[in-house]
Amino acid sequence: MDKIRVGMVGYKFMGKAHSNAYRALPMFFPKSAVKPVMKAICGRDPEGVEQAREQFGWESAETDWRQLVKRDDIDLIDINAPSDAHKEIALAAAAEGKHLFCEKPLALTLEDSREMLEAAEKAGVKHMVGFNYRFSPAVQLAKKLIEEGRIGKIFHFRAMFLQDWIIDPNFPLVWRLQKDIAGSGSHGDLGAHLIDMARFLVGEFNEVIGMSETFIKERPLASAMTGLSAKGSAEGPRGEVTVDDATLFMTRFMNGALGSFEATRFAAGHRCTNGFEINGSKGSIKFDFERMNELQVYFTDDAEDVQGFRRVLATDPAHAYMDAWWPAGHTIGFEHTFTHEVLEFMQALAEDRQPVPNFNDGVKCQEVLEAVDLSIAERRWVSISELK
Amino acid sequence: MDKIRVGMVGYKFMGKAHSNAYRALPMFFPKSAVKPVMKAICGRDPEGVEQAREQFGWESAETDWRQLVKRDDIDLIDINAPSDAHKEIALAAAAEGKHLFCEKPLALTLEDSREMLEAAEKAGVKHMVGFNYRFSPAVQLAKKLIEEGRIGKIFHFRAMFLQDWIIDPNFPLVWRLQKDIAGSGSHGDLGAHLIDMARFLVGEFNEVIGMSETFIKERPLASAMTGLSAKGSAEGPRGEVTVDDATLFMTRFMNGALGSFEATRFAAGHRCTNGFEINGSKGSIKFDFERMNELQVYFTDDAEDVQGFRRVLATDPAHAYMDAWWPAGHTIGFEHTFTHEVLEFMQALAEDRQPVPNFNDGVKCQEVLEAVDLSIAERRWVSISELK
Amino acid sequence: MDKIRVGMVGYKFMGKAHSNAYRALPMFFPKSAVKPVMKAICGRDPEGVEQAREQFGWESAETDWRQLVKRDDIDLIDINAPSDAHKEIALAAAAEGKHLFCEKPLALTLEDSREMLEAAEKAGVKHMVGFNYRFSPAVQLAKKLIEEGRIGKIFHFRAMFLQDWIIDPNFPLVWRLQKDIAGSGSHGDLGAHLIDMARFLVGEFNEVIGMSETFIKERPLASAMTGLSAKGSAEGPRGEVTVDDATLFMTRFMNGALGSFEATRFAAGHRCTNGFEINGSKGSIKFDFERMNELQVYFTDDAEDVQGFRRVLATDPAHAYMDAWWPAGHTIGFEHTFTHEVLEFMQALAEDRQPVPNFNDGVKCQEVLEAVDLSIAERRWVSISELK
Amino acid sequence: MDKIRVGMVGYKFMGKAHSNAYRALPMFFPKSAVKPVMKAICGRDPEGVEQAREQFGWESAETDWRQLVKRDDIDLIDINAPSDAHKEIALAAAAEGKHLFCEKPLALTLEDSREMLEAAEKAGVKHMVGFNYRFSPAVQLAKKLIEEGRIGKIFHFRAMFLQDWIIDPNFPLVWRLQKDIAGSGSHGDLGAHLIDMARFLVGEFNEVIGMSETFIKERPLASAMTGLSAKGSAEGPRGEVTVDDATLFMTRFMNGALGSFEATRFAAGHRCTNGFEINGSKGSIKFDFERMNELQVYFTDDAEDVQGFRRVLATDPAHAYMDAWWPAGHTIGFEHTFTHEVLEFMQALAEDRQPVPNFNDGVKCQEVLEAVDLSIAERRWVSISELK
């Protein structure tokens, strides 16, 4: 198997990002033993999907995902439709023996996400979940430093994902602000990324306690919108915002580290501050996705007079993926994380192993999300084990 | 009254900082209607206190604070002895009708701090508590922006006070690590500053929930040490660390804002990162004491194409206190916050009003500290009103 | 004309960057009236070029550029071969009526570059020169601010392009260090970008005086190398370095502004610091390509208490090109400048005008480069007009 | 000799800074074998000097420096009057056998400064010149790293001193803008500091070439002003600005390093950006006085995957002077450089050696300043040796 034929459901923000990744892979990672073939793209609106097909470079278009998952000429289903559709598509695709690449969050509920994992395992297919931020070279460097023991025992992890696109009370009630479609607000959208990052770098969660708020309770009704920006209006009918605007929580990790998390869409000046800091017995690490090519690293055993956070520009050949792109000092951007993500899937297929992160990681992330929700509802600490 | 005669108890870190403030005041704020006279310094060790007297420039020295508070030629008692001595000294001094300037935390317990406040009020004296960080010009600017409504309604406050001086497990068991002397660890030492900053900038706390940890349970016994650095040893007898190494907590403020707090002495690379960020409906503010002359400010109503955090160097004549020092761009340091603090006390005396922050603020800070402690002990949200 | 058929000479660093731009254009700028067709790639090594053809996605491969420029099915010749080949290829292509897209520097000498411009003008073809850094959204923002008068009259421009890849004296004698192939060292390679940026943002040069140095005079001979990194060896034969390691110069612009320029490959810690600052009567602008998504902007008319450099993340819809990519806060990288550059060429073709920057800009850049060289040789100020 | 009796001429900006240094020394550096006694302050305006005397804490006041230098009870004359008075005072004081501490620039001309050096040497007194920036702990760290060979052979030094206080064309014609009093503009005021820093860190200059400009040729006449800020007016009579607003120059150092320098008062947004960068064969160093507690350091031999500029907060006990102040992480400010400067003078007196920097350094700085002036006047490279 040196080619994998992909059928993709969804063609908006994530659909564009995934398409670009499939296109970029063979050019920048020509040694990848398996290469994706962009077979079919699927969306409900015939005109929209046909335009996307042409623009993104897919061979064919479908308007019914049920049709798509049955096609013989497709090996892998890439699911980046709105979150409420993930489960049904994944289950149908698994039943057809298709490999699965699903955007996060895996599903609207923990139960659903577990069902998806079971279906994938039962079908014996490869499955991956789209936690793309793991694939920043700077984050890979953080992982490497931790695994090699260069940061020592971890004491603290603090993470925040700050955005500011809905501060205006007249920003409309887009689908991301509706619980029945999005599952949750910043918690599931942004917090999920932080939780995955924490699991990737620090380890499993023990217990959590959270707090959340919906600062703006009602917003103007909007026709379907998908992006992260829109001009709102003070007039016309309003509807209830049914998700959280901001969710914070604290945690103890199984290894004893303490963690704090904050996800909000009400942090003026932060377009996409997805950042974390780790403090260990031998050093510290800081990352902010707005400067995704950089990692700040501190070592306690540096000479006494020159101790300080180093600003590492993770674009050298010594850094993951970077020899595939440009010479040292020439930065990459947001979209490259998806190319690396797809590369991982291709390598997993070539090596006949599950890619990482996979549906197990999606389920575990969902466990933490729901534990936090429960802790908010019941105003108490919740152990992750309660959800097992 | 144009002179106020000061007697100071304690002559180590804070004693030095206060002495310097008294010395600097008349030179840099010559228009202050009231001027401090450095009458007497007090400490138990006769040699030590005499050396301090000479070095810091006090007129006389005392070895017994009971003697000091009785002296007729003294109007104000400045208490910066270890925390466990605050109450007794304050009560005795109030009984003698002396004005009170007490380092934070006011006392080891909320009860004690309330007793101190009552004593001061009953005596009808002026009282102040040493939350010096309020007096950074950049923090004063933050206050001004908030009060003038330029940041709008506040949604988020996140604060952290990160240090790294006890990561080494062989760092000795200094008094700051012993509950009976220090009251608490990073919570009372560092967290107290954050709580006061939050009260100053955001408002009163509604409810809290916390988490804490002592990462290193035993440490080498040490003879008396007072500074923040020491070389430890792996040999010799060890004693139990009875305070927290790190304490985190979340809060809801009375005005609906969400807050997160972290105080730790285990954040490698952070010598004194006392920072916060505020996100409001019209803008955001960031501060880090390691760059105390700077305030980062963001306004949502800046022109669309040039929105961004401004790095304001708060050294212009437009910034509080700065016309007293040097021309714009010439920075000040840690010690200057104490000079401004003393200036506030002198102005309060001149205007016959209580200085701010005073013992009321000390008590309210203590309420939050104890509410957090209670929330940790009982693993539940605690309302500040429970402590009233 | 809605398609333009491209034949490209060269397939290394720049060949890869250009190929990626042609591939990305239709996906991210689907409204471009003219679309490139990747017809043929050309290089001397049959195996190498065939591998590049497949990897980059070109329809066919050629090993002789003389053959390529004669092909009827090609409309535009993209020249990114080593600098010493630019002129001959451009002249031959122009003679065949092909449009020209040539990497910088246009040629090894001013005379050659003028000959290329004349040939292109005589042939009546479109011509463009590859100053890609102009096409960073943050740089476009700088241009907009200046043109709209928001920075006022310009007093100062200071620019530096710092790299560090040849500090090791055993780094081999690659072609970029040989005058007969590269024309010059950091002056022509890095300084040329700075000069173009200055012309783009500030205006034409009046007079210059420079200084240069070759710190390491001899290096190990190397077989053909093309990248910017290589492991050297202390053994074996050495050859003379015939270009500058670093060149600095000062200038007066025609509008009275003062400029300083520094290009070096000996600045440890700087992988690709391509930065500048502009100071005007109404404000200032700072840029560093290592953080290419950011522009620092200062306005003198900001309110007195909140004046400071704003860190603008130029990823909003209000910023050039960005609505074509990802939501606000999601950054782009080095390669995107080339996509924007190709977009400009496509738009120029659609509008039947010369793209900008074109060979005129290439010639004017070369004038400054040679004026600086002359000023170094004769140790005196040289007016640009001397070269006309 | 354990006390040195100081008489100071001048009581404005520098007078205040020096007074503070004398006051701070015994408190923060109690082990200094020699201690300054603040004997007399001198200024022409009787009221002004008396107010300064009281405010700054001097024992007596004088209105005629000729009187002052003759006083028997004074050992050291501190000269911080406007630059045009330096020479006459220094010569008279030397004639009386007084030690000399003179603010920079030493004199208005090289000739004058040489005369001052000769007079001091002939009188056999100690002499120091006020290049206070050397005494920042971060700069001392830079010096240490260079001297210990940790940066290797130096290739580049680039320095800039940027201010923005006279951009407004209606800012008045203060004495700093008049050649007969100030000697020169930003060149002598700001550039002098850069030159001294270069000499301190890199070594002696070989040759220079400069460029300067007066952007605003006429300004409103002003009554005596001394600070760096003033409100101007568009009305009333104007006078000619007779100094440079900005001066840039390039240099070759004797050791082969290349240098670039820029001093300007027209850099909007820069209140006091006194910064430099050094690139060597083993690493690099960056400094900016607006963040004076920090030094950025890069080492080429750091592990390949974690190379990056370290932000060293030079407040640890490992850093010069810092154990005298506050615990690690607690920053100092502008004024502290003067305290360290005075400490050096006291130590030199105790050790019976010349302090560093002394009048020799003042003369050498002046040589470079004048060489640059000559290079501007004659539009050619000027060797420093031409001035000897």
Local confidence pLDDT in tens for the 388 residues of chain A: 799 999 999 999 999 999 999 999 999 999 999 999 999 999 999 999 999 999 999 999 999 999 999 999 999 999 999 889 999 999 999 999 999 999 999 999 999 999 999 999 999 999 999 999 999 999 999 999 999 999 999 999 999 999 999 999 999 998 889 999 888 999 999 999 999 999 999 999 999 999 999 999 999 987 544 455 455 566 778 999 999 999 999 999 999 999 999 999 999 999 999 999 999 999 999 999 999 999 999 999 999 999 999 999 999 999 999 999 999 999 999 999 999 999 999 999 999 999 999 999 999 999 999 999 999 999 999 999 999 8
Query: Shortest CA distance to B291 belongs to which of D290, C358, C66?
Result: D290
Residues 6+ apart with CB under 8 A from B171: B165, B219, B220, B230, B232
Residue A54: closest C-alpha in chain C: C27
Q: What is the predicted pLDDT for the residue at A388?
A: 84
Residues B207 and B62 in one domain: no
d(CA B84, CA B109) in angstroms, rounded, equals: 9
d(CA A131, CA A200) in angstroms, rounded, equals: 10
Read off the tokens for B81.
Answer: 């002895």
Q: What is the predicted pLDDT for the residue at B230?
A: 53
pLDDT in tens, C226-241: 455 455 566 778 999 9
Averaged pLDDT score across all residues of chain A: 95
Read off the tokens for A370.
Answer: 């729901």
Contact D319 A305 (CB under 8 A): yes
Query: Shortest CA distance to C18 belongs to which of C46, C34, C38?
Result: C38
Cβ-based contacts of D52 with chain B (< 8 Å): none
Query: Shortest CA distance to D273 belongs to which of D153, D149, D133?
Result: D133
Q: What is the predicted pLDDT for the residue at D282?
A: 98
Residues 6+ apart with CB under 8 A from B370: B109, B110, B387
Mean pLDDT by 10 residues, chain B (388 residues): 95 96 97 97 97 97 98 98 94 98 94 98 98 98 98 98 96 91 92 98 98 96 56 76 97 98 98 97 98 98 98 97 96 98 98 98 98 98 96
Q: Is C346 helix (H, G, I), strand (E, B) or coil?
A: helix
Q: What is the predicted pLDDT for the residue at A233?
A: 65
Residue at A386 is within a domain? no
Residue at D232 is within a domain? yes
Residues D319 and D205 in one domain: yes
C246 contacts chain A (CB < 8 A): no
Residues D246 and D371 in one domain: yes
Cβ-based contacts of D304 with chain A (< 8 Å): 316, 318
CA A176 to chain C, closest CA, distance in angstroms equals 14
Residues A45 and A79 in one domain: yes
**Interface probe with D: pick from C207, C266, C376, most Cβ of D within 10 Å:** C266
Residue at D339 is within a domain? no
- Half-sphere exposure of D205 toward its Cβ, with a 13 Å CA cutoff? 35
Domain count, chain D: 2
- Pairing label, strands A294-299, A283-288: antiparallel
Last residue of a domain, one of D132, D158, D184: D132
Residues A203 and A58 in one domain: no
**Interface probe with A: pick from C335, C338, C340, most Cβ of A within 10 Å:** C335
D142 contacts chain A (CB < 8 A): no
d(CA A338, CA A133) in angstroms, rounded, equals: 8
Query: Residue D21 sits in a domain of what CATH number?
Result: 3.40.50.720
- Measure CB to CB from residue D228 to each of B227, B291, B327 and give the nearest one: B327
Cβ-based contacts of B246 with chain A (< 8 Å): 155-156, 258
Residues D186 and D325 in one domain: yes
pLDDT in tens, D335-384: 999 999 999 999 999 999 999 999 999 999 999 999 999 999 999 999 99
**Interface probe with D: pick from C153, C154, C158, C288, most Cβ of D within 10 Å:** C158
Query: Shortest CA distance to C338 belongs to which of C130, C141, C128, C197?
Result: C130
How is residue A103 annotated by DSSP?
A: P
Contact D248 C262 (CB under 8 A): no
Residues C185 and C300 in one domain: yes
- Pairing label, strands A99-102, A76-79: parallel
Contact A264 B279 (CB under 8 A): yes
Residue at C350 is within a domain? no
CA distances in angstroms from D139 to B32, D29, D122, D134, D319, listed in the order given: 36, 19, 32, 6, 10
d(CA C266, CA C259) in angstroms, rounded, equals: 21
Strand partners, D260: D158, D250
CA C330 to chain A, closest CA, distance in angstroms equals 6
Cβ-based contacts of B213 with chain A (< 8 Å): 155, 256, 258
Q: What is the predicted pLDDT for the residue at D388?
A: 84
Is the Cβ–Cβ distance between C312 and C144 less than 8 Å?
no
Cβ-based contacts of A325 with chain C (< 8 Å): 333, 335
Instruction: Give start and end residues of each alpha helix (H) in chain C.
Output: 13-28, 46-56, 65-70, 86-95, 110-123, 137-147, 179-182, 186, 192-201, 336-350, 359-378
Last residue of a domain, one of D99, D132, D165: D132
C27 contacts chain A (CB < 8 A): yes
Q: Which long-range contacts (CB under 8 A, 24 or more apart) does A301-306 make?
A: A302/D310, A304/D316, A304/D318, A305/D141, A305/D144, A305/D145, A305/D312, A305/D316, A305/D318, A305/D319, A306/D141, A306/D145, A306/D297, A306/D299, A306/D310, A306/D312
Q: What is the predicted pLDDT for the residue at D331?
A: 97
Q: Is the pLDDT reported for residue C175 higher than 90?
A: no
Is the Cβ–Cβ distance between B243 and B184 less than 8 Å?
yes
Residues D87 and D226 in one domain: no
Is the Cβ–Cβ distance between B231 and B130 less than 8 Å?
no
Q: Helices (H) and strands (E) in chain A — how many of each? A: 11, 17
pTM for this prediction:
0.96
Contact D332 B329 (CB under 8 A): no
Is the Cβ–Cβ distance between B384 and B203 less than 8 Å?
no
pLDDT in tens, D99-144: 999 999 999 999 999 999 999 999 999 999 999 999 999 999 999 9
Is the Cβ–Cβ distance between A236 and A219 less than 8 Å?
no
Q: What is the predicted pLDDT for the residue at B166?
A: 95
Q: Is the pLDDT reported for residue D227 higher than 70?
A: no
Strand partners, A208: A251, A382
- Pairing label, strands D35-42, D60-62: parallel
Query: Shortest CA distance to A250 belongs to which of C293, B155, B93, B379?
Result: B379
pLDDT in tens, C283-322: 999 999 999 999 999 999 999 999 999 999 999 999 999 9
pLDDT in tens, C52-62: 999 999 999 99
Cβ-based contacts of D312 with chain A (< 8 Å): 305-308
Concatenate the DSSP letters of all residues of A279-301 into one string: EESSEEEEEEGGGTTEEEEEETT
- Measure CB to CB from residue D268 to each of C160, C249, C298 and give the nearest one: C298
A298 contacts chain B (CB < 8 A): yes
d(CA A258, CA A198) in angstroms, rounded, equals: 11
- Pairing label, strands D99-102, D35-42: unpaired
Read off the tokens for D29.
Answer: 């550096």
Contact C310 B313 (CB under 8 A): no
Residue at C148 is within a domain? yes
Query: Shortest CA distance to C23 belongs to which of D277, D103, A38, B80?
Result: A38
D310 contacts chain A (CB < 8 A): yes
Cβ-based contacts of A13 with chain C (< 8 Å): 326-327
Is the Cβ–Cβ distance between A228 and A166 less than 8 Å?
no
Q: Helix C359-378 and helix C110-123: axis angle, to 10°?
A: 160
Cβ-based contacts of C270 with chain D (< 8 Å): 279, 284
Query: Shortest CA distance to B91 belongs to which of B79, B105, B103, B104?
Result: B79
- Measure CB to CB from residue A258 to each of B160, B213, B260 and give the nearest one: B213
Last residue of a domain, one of C82, C110, C132: C132
Residues C181 and C266 in one domain: yes
Residues 6+ apart with CB under 8 A from C326: A13, A17, A334, A335, C315, C332
Q: What is the predicted pLDDT for the residue at A182?
A: 87
Q: Is the pLDDT reported for residue C12 higher than 50?
A: yes
Which amino acid, one-letter code, is at B271?
R
In chain B, how long is the greatest CA-to-CA distance?
A: 66
Is the Cβ–Cβ distance between A25 and A32 less than 8 Å?
yes
Residues A107 and A170 in one domain: no
The label of the residue with tokens 């750091």 reads D302
Q: What angle do CA D268, D272, D273 make, to 5 degrees?
A: 85
Residue at D383 is within a domain? no
d(CA D294, CA A306) in angstroms, rounded, equals: 11
Is the Cβ–Cβ distance between A82 and A181 less than 8 Å?
yes
Cβ-based contacts of B260 with chain A (< 8 Å): 248, 260, 262
C317 contacts chain A (CB < 8 A): yes
The label of the residue with tokens 């002559």 reads B11
Residue A310: closest C-alpha in chain D: D310
Q: What are phi and psi of A23, to 5 degrees?
A: -70, -40
**Band of residue C183 on the pLDDT scale cut at 50, 70, 90:** confident
CA distances in angstroms from D290 to B100, C299, D117, listed in the order given: 37, 19, 32
Cβ-based contacts of D285 with chain A (< 8 Å): none
Residue A21: closest C-alpha in chain C: C24
Cβ-based contacts of D310 with chain A (< 8 Å): 302, 306-311
Q: What is the predicted pLDDT for the residue at D225?
A: 47
Q: How far is CA B130 from the centre of its chain?
A: 5
Cβ-based contacts of A316 with chain C (< 8 Å): 271
**Interface probe with A: pick from C54, C176, C290, C319, most Cβ of A within 10 Å:** C290
| Neighbour subunits, C (≥3 Cβ pairs < 8 A) | A, B, D
pLDDT in tens, D295-344: 999 999 999 999 999 999 999 999 999 999 999 999 999 999 999 999 99
Q: Please say whether the dihedral angle defined by the alpha carbons of residues C4, C8, C11 and C14, taken in this order, is positive or negative.
A: negative
CA C249 to chain B, closest CA, distance in angstroms equals 29
Residue at A355 is within a domain? no
- Measure CB to CB from residue D155 to each of C209, C215, C277 and give the nearest one: C215
CA B339 to chain C, closest CA, distance in angstroms equals 22
Residue at A346 is within a domain? no
Contact B246 A252 (CB under 8 A): no
Contact B313 D229 (CB under 8 A): no
Residues 6+ apart with CB under 8 A from D204: D253, D254, D364, D384
Q: Helices (H) and strands (E) in chain C — how many of each? A: 11, 17
Residue D160: closest C-alpha in chain C: C158
Averaged pLDDT score across all residues of chain C: 95
**Band of residue D34 on the pLDDT scale cut at 50, 70, 90:** very high
Quote the domain boundaries for residue B60: 3-132
Query: Residue A169 sits in a domain of what CATH number?
Result: 3.30.360.10
Residues D370 and D234 in one domain: yes
The label of the residue with tokens 């008319």 reads C301
Q: Is D212 helix (H, G, I), strand (E, B) or coil?
A: strand
A348 contacts chain B (CB < 8 A): no
Averaged pLDDT score across all residues of chain D: 95
Residues C116 and C221 in one domain: no
Residues in chain B: 388
Query: Shortest CA distance to A14 belongs to which of A337, A301, A241?
Result: A337
Contact A305 D313 (CB under 8 A): no
Which amino acid, one-letter code, is at D277?
E
Cβ-based contacts of B162 with chain A (< 8 Å): 279
